[in-house]
């Protein structure tokens, strides 16, 4: 910060502060979405490994996660 006329003047403009906030918000949102996807993926992997779920192929030929029914 520089002092001019007894007042502190920020060297970063308001526009730059908004841009930094926008970029930080985007990175935070991407990190949250990536963490959510990673959590779902690991949950599905563990469920298949323990035999509670399975991967099945649908009519379109795509793999789908499906929980097994209770016996």
Among all chains, which residue has been given the structure tokens 């908004």?
A: 18
pLDDT at residue number 3:
54
In the chain (71 residues long), the average pLDDT of successive 10-residue segments reads: 56 89 98 97 95 92 90 64
pLDDT at 39: 96
Domain count, the chain: 1
Structural domain boundaries enclosing 25: 2-67
pLDDT score recorded for residue 19 = 95
Q: What is the DSSP string of 3-32?
A: EETTEEE-SS-HHHHHHHHHHHHHHHHHHH
Q: What is the value of pTM for the model shown?
A: 0.62
Distance CA 35, CA 39 (A): 6
């Amino acid at each position: 910060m520089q002092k001019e006329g007894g007042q502190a003047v920020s060297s970063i403009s308001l526009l730059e502060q908004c841009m930094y906030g926008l970029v930080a918000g985007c990175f935070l949102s991407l990190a949250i979405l990536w963490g959510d996807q990673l959590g779902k993926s690991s949950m599905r992997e563990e469920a298949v490994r323990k035999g509670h779920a399975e991967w099945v192929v649908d009519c379109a030929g795509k793999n789908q996660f499906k929980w097994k029914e209770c016996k």
